[in-house]
Amino acid sequence: MHSCDGCTVCCKVMKIRELDKPANTWCADCKIGVGCGVYETRPESCRVYECIWLQTQSLDKPIAVALRPDRSRVVIGTTNHGEDVVLYVTPERPDAWRRGEFARLVGEFKGRGIKVLVSCGDDLQVV
C-alpha cells in the first residue's frame, strides 16, 4: 500500500458503511488535506481501500499526477470484482471527469473495453 500523502478526497466522496457515513460528506475523523484522525483504529473498509490512481503509481505507466484525486476531484475505483471502473465525484464538481486529461483517461478506459460508471452520491450512471 502506498501513501495518500495528504489526499483525503475519498474521505468525502465514498460511503463508509461501518460509520453510517453517506457519500459526499466529510468523515468526522478526517483531517482534511492531512489524513485520518483515527488511522490506527479506522474501519476495515478504509484499511483495505486504495484508489486506482494510487495503485498505479508504482507501475511503469502510472496515471498522471494531475489526475490525483485531490487535484482532479475524482476518485477512481472499481466495481464488479474489478471489471468496471467507477469515478466517484462530488455534486460540487459532477463534470470533473469530463475535463481535459481526465476525459482522455476515460476514453482510454472505454477504448480498452472497460465499462466506466460515474457515481455522484446515490446516483450511478454508465458513461
Residues 9-42 have pLDDT tens digits of: 999 999 999 999 999 999 999 999 999 999 999 9
DSSP string for 45-108:
HHHH---HHHHHTTSSSPPPGGGSHHHHSEEEEEETTTTEEEEEE-TTSTTGGGSHHHHHHHHH
User: How much is the pTM?
Assistant: 0.90
Q: How many residues does the chain have?
A: 127
Q: Where is average pLDDT lowest: 23-27, 47-51, 71-75, 117-121?
A: 117-121
C-alpha distances (whole Å) from 74 to each of 18, 34, 44 are 23, 18, 22
